[in-house]
Amino acid sequence: MKQNRTLLIQITLFVVTLITTTITGAEWIFGNSFFFGTNTMGWHELVQGLQYSIPFLGVLTIHEFGHYFVARKHKTDVTLPFYIPLWLGGLSSTFGTLGAFIRIKERIQSRVKYFDIGIAGPLAGFVAALFVLWYGFTHLPSLDYVFNLFPQLNQYGMEYGKFLETTPDYVSIKLGDSLLFKFFEDYIAVGDLPHPYLYTNYPIIFAGYLSLFFTALNLFPIGQLDGGHILYGLIGDRAFNIVSPILFTGFVFYAGLGLFKVDEFFVFDTDIVWKFALYIGFTYLCFSRISENLMTNLLITFSVIAIQLIFSYFYPTVEGYSGFLAFGLMIGRFLGIYHPPTYDKQPLTLERQILGWLALLIFILCFTPKPFTIIQNA
């Protein structure tokens, strides 16, 4: 009875997530909402959103079932995926989902099992993401696609990009350039590449980009992320529990770099003081479980912030990506920076070691330091 109820919840979540990602896909394509504004969308636009939801959820599903089938192969008690829908009614842009997860219902005691289950999802999802990107870049529509979406650009022809770059108050989101995404742009694309400000209007390519983005997030070699399981399998618990907090500290340092500049404090501003105080509290939450010693956590917090300020003073144009701060909080406060110990510490075979380092190479290829940049012309 309980299994049937769980299965019903999983199916319901999948259906709801399919709906929310389809709606979101339509909103990204057409730049309008279903409920707000003057140019609300209807069923025709909703169907177009499937061009985004099917490949994006397809990659996500392949990723999760990669974990699932390998876990079952190891006779590990595991659930089917739980999908997490997310749509804010068009009030703010989302991806339609926060992802999915499987729940392992027993404690894994083997370093090899952790490795196998952890690596299966990203590798499977990565292969699927490559196919999505290949299809998207080899089936680019003509420029008429852009002009049908935005008739006001038709008069500019091939020069429409200059209009996007110079029109006052124009707002868009520019995708980052991971090494792999750049490779597809430069060597795989067939046809007219969209202007960098319009990639979010190309649903298949956008779905492929997000697939790389989420693959990179999962492959971060920290804590209990997939990349954490992989690195743990490669170097063992003692080395991992030294490397992981160092990597995490560097990640949080980068995420908050440039948020505050030293010269902002030369003149007293209550607003800046409050924001800085909140940032200190937020950063402490990220580091609050890095050690059981309160003073150690406080020392790390204030050291990171101090170095950020010093770095920004000497290199004021260098900034991190504050969007990663939420991910840092999720890792530091909820997922954990360290890896659960295992009793079976059997080292990995050579084949597994090769796959492990390959997976970390995939992380480098998929990762972009600034995945999304809001463009707003003056």
Q: What is the pLDDT of residues 309-323, one digit of tens each?
A: 999 999 999 999 999
Does residue 59 carry a pLDDT above 70? Answer: yes
**Locus of tokens 């209009």:** 163
Kindly state whether residue 97 falls inside one of the protein's structural domains. yes
CA–CA distances in Å: residue 113 to residues 3, 71, 122: 25, 8, 15
The torsion defined by the Cα of 315, 318, 323 and 324, in degrees rounded to 10, comes to -80
For 273-310, write each residue's pLDDT tens digit.
999 999 999 999 999 999 999 999 999 999 999 999 99
- Residue 43: which residues within 8 A CB-CB, separation 6 or more? none
Q: What is the DSSP string of 36-71?
A: SSSS---HHHHHHTHHHHHHHHHHHHHHHHHHHHHH
Amino acid type, 159: E
Q: Where are the beta strands (DSSP E) in the chain?
A: 82-85, 97-101, 171-175, 372-376
Residue 2 covered by a domain = yes
Pairing of strands 372-376, 82-85: unpaired
pLDDT at 2: 74
Q: Which of 18, 46, 15 is nearest to 33 (CA)?
A: 46
Is residue 46 pLDDT above 90, yes or no? yes
Decide: 247 and 362 in contact? Cβ < 8 Å.
no
- Give the residue numbers spanning the domain of 93: 1-106
Q: Is residue 15 part of a domain?
A: yes
**Among 7-11, 62-66, 86-90, which is the least confidently predicted range?**
86-90
Mean pLDDT across 45-50? 95
Number of domains in the chain: 1
Name the band, by pLDDT with cuts 50, 70 and 90, for residue 90: confident
For residue 277, the tally of other CB atoms under 10 A from its CB is: 10
Direct distance between the N- and C-terminal alpha carbons of the chain, in angstroms, rounded to an integer: 60
Q: Which of the four pLDDT bands, split at 50, 70 and 90, describes residue 93?
A: confident
Q: Biggest alpha carbon distance in the chain?
A: 68
- Convert the pLDDT of each residue in 121-180 to its tens digit: 999 999 999 999 999 999 999 999 999 999 988 888 888 888 888 888 788 899 999 999
Handedness of CA 372, 227, 327, 26 (dihedral sign): positive
Give the β-pairing of 82-85 and 171-175: unpaired
Three-state secondary structure string covering 121-161: HHHHHHHHHHHHHHHHHHCCCCCHHHHHHCHHHHHHHHHHH
Instruction: Please write the tens of the pLDDT for every residue from 1-25.
Output: 677 899 999 999 999 999 999 999 9
| pLDDT value of residue 168 | 80
CA nearest neighbour of 104 among 88, 117, 89? 117
The answer to whether residue 345 sits within a structural domain is: no
Task: Give the whole-angstrom CA distance, residue 71 versus residue 228.
Answer: 17
Question: Does residue 49 sit within a domain?
Answer: yes
Q: pTM to 2 decimals? A: 0.95
